[in-house]
Structure 1
Amino acid sequence: MSAAGLSGVAVVTGASSGIGAAVARALADAGAHVVLVARRIEPLSRVAEEVHARGGRASVLAADLAAEGEPERVVAQTVELFGAPTALVHCAGVVRLAQVHELPPTHWELMIRLNLTVPYLLCHAALPYMRKNGGGTIVHIGSSITRETLSHTAGYAVSKQGLNVLSELVALENRDHGVRAVAICPGWVRTELAADPDELGVGAEELLTPDDVAETVLWAVTRPPRVSVGPVLHVSPTTSRAGTRASITRLTGDREG
């Protein structure tokens, strides 16, 4: 993976595995000092070791972003220890699938909190520094679920749709301050948290990989300052067999959604 030189501090949430870890490696390879954020320090440390082995710079900042005050602490501690972030990539997220009448309120609240409120809080804390310094890029990892209405996806779809709108507003309100915001919405990605494609009759090679998403993030972050992208970008598998509707239908067994 190659890109134009990238400098400054890049905060990556959900960096302990999957898309977040791939994004962290990509940004570090391009020259950023990556601050790795997630709940579990052990897998974060392994990602940091991978970055160091590749000649990059990475620091670990363990945080439960769903907890009160943690998003604000992450930004404040990053600024204190490493400097103001020039890039913020929010990969952390959660999904719980159920029809509305069966979805526990605690699951709804968790999805709204981690998928939408936490990105807002991170933006709220980081934007003043980016505006003061004359630039920066905020990337939210959204979902292709926002392209259509599918049964069993209530809290997830609502939170990710809100994330798209948040990204659009941040882009609109900060474009004259050199700050870009983009929501990158991938389809089915092959990660340890995703459904097993073999169980759903889809070949693993048909899915996106975390590196596919990471390369898209890197492309967005390294555009020249004059270039605006998005603010909503969709990245999907080529084959319809791995499409969002097909995968959710197979996963939930719902034939009417």
Structure 2
Amino acid sequence: MSAAGGTGAPPVALVAGASSGIGAAVARRLAARGSAVALVGRREAELKEVAESIRAAGGTALPLVLDLAEPGGPADAVAMTTAALGQVGLLVCSAGAIRLAAVHETEERHWERQLRVNLTVPFLLAREVLPGMRERGCGWVVNIGSGVGSEVVPGSGGYGVSKHAVHRLTELIHEENRDRGIRAVTVAPGWVSTRLAARPADLGVPEEEVLDAEDIADTVAWLLDRPARMSVGPLIRVEPSASRAAAGDAMTRHLNRSRAEGAGRAAEENR
């Protein structure tokens, strides 16, 4: 695997949001494929656990405890990765923030946080790595989007807006760099069983009908194996087969359930 799907050495990878869920699964898969992987996240203990699992399997991992939403965070992450492992040839943005609410119920700080983490951080990371990729004539930018970014889901708020915008960001990166040997793709999952998502049991959906993080890691690995002559995407949706596990419907039901529980708790407190 090469940075553009050829046959060279595996590229150095930087995975944002690598402490758990999709990011951790993708980081492990990339390391198993031979990439030296920088793991970026805020939760130190979990990040080190992922790094240790990669090293135990014979891979190379560099845990970087950083808040990418802070000023200078993305630039620091790329600089530290380059200094320790070499120039980044594969960027995976999996860090995410979600706060479900109707527009009129959304607090400004929650809106700003979601746009910062879900959209501005991928932009800043891409801006850091693209010049080197363009100079070398190869590279990958993989953003983890969301199926909700392609639908109008009431209550998805800043999350839905930011994921829709990151899909367009990826399209721009793809069009601006496709003739320079660089591939940019958004992998947009539906309902994946992670800590950010609703629990399937709470919504009456069997766990086995919902995607897991390894399904998304499989998709990223498949992308990287496409030949350099092939363009896939720049948006790839990965959905559960069962209609009752559709992400938009699940998100709406989860929000309605949370509202009902909140109203019930308020009624109890006011008695």
Separation (CA, whole Å) in 1 of partners of 2:240 and 2:9: 28
2:118 aligned counterpart, secondary structure: helix
Question: Which residue in 2 is equivalent to 1:49?
Answer: 52
Code of the residue aligned with 2:192 in structure 1: it is V
Which residue of 1 is the match for residue 260 of structure 2? none
Distance 1:126 1:222 in 2: 21
Q: Say whether the 8 Å CA contact 2:91–2:141 is kept in structure 1.
A: yes
Structure 1 gap segments, 5+ residues each: none
Task: Give the Cα–Cα distance (whole angstroms) in 1 for the partners of residues 231 and 121 of structure 2.
Answer: 24
Aligned to 2:144: 141
C-alpha distance in 2 between matches for 1:6 and 1:39:
30
1:212 aligns with 2:215: yes
Matches within 5 A, 1:27-38: 27-38=30-41
Residue 94 of structure 1 is matched in structure 2 by: 97
Is the 8 Å Cα contact of residues 5 and 31 (structure 1) preserved in structure 2?
Answer: no
Q: Secondary structure at the match of 1:111?
A: helix
Q: Which moved further from structure 2: 112-121 or 222-231?
A: 222-231
Q: What TM-score results when the alignment is normalised by the length of structure 2? A: 0.90
Off by >6 Å, runs of 4+ in structure 1: none
Alpha-carbon distance in 2 for matches of 1:221, 1:14 = 19
**Which residue of 1 is the match for residue 240 of structure 2?**
237
Contact 1:168 1:181 (C-alpha < 8 Å) held by counterparts: yes
Q: What residue is the counterpart of 1:160 in the other structure?
A: 163
Identify the range of structure 1 (110-119 vs 69-78) with the bigger mean alpha-carbon deviation. 69-78
Residue 19 of structure 1 corresponds to which residue in structure 2?
A: 22
- How many residues are aligned here? 252
Shift of 1:76: 1.5
Which of 48, 56, 59 is the matching residue for 2:62?
A: 59
Distance in 1, matches of 2:152 and 2:229, equals: 35
The answer to whether the aligner puts 1:107 opposite 2:110 as a matched pair is yes
**Do the aligned residues in 1 keep the contact of 2:16 with 2:92 (CA within 8 Å)?**
yes
What RMSD over aligned residues (CA atoms) do the two structures have, in Å?
A: 1.5
Q: Determine if contact 2:98/2:196 at 8 Å carries over to the other structure.
A: no
Asked if structure 2 preserves the Cα contact closer than 8 Å seen for 1:6 and 1:27, the reply is no
Higher CA-based Rg: 2
| Deviation of 1:225 (Å) | 1.7
> Which is worse superposed, 91-100 or 186-195?
186-195
Identity %: 49
TM-score (norm: length of structure 1): 0.95
Which residue of the partner structure matches residue 177 of structure 1? 180
Structure 2 residue 156 is the aligned partner of structure 1 residue 128:
no
Determine helix, strand or coil for the equivalent of 2:67: coil
- Corresponding residue SS for 1:253: helix
Q: Tell me the CA shift for residue 171 of structure 1.
A: 0.4
Provide, for residues 115-139 of structure 1, a one-character-per-residue CA deviation record: whole Å limited to 9, x for no partner.
0011000010100011111100000
1:190 to 193, 203, 206: 193
CA shift at 1:249, angstroms?
2.1
CA 1:5–1:48 in 2, change beyond 3 Å: closer, same or farther? farther
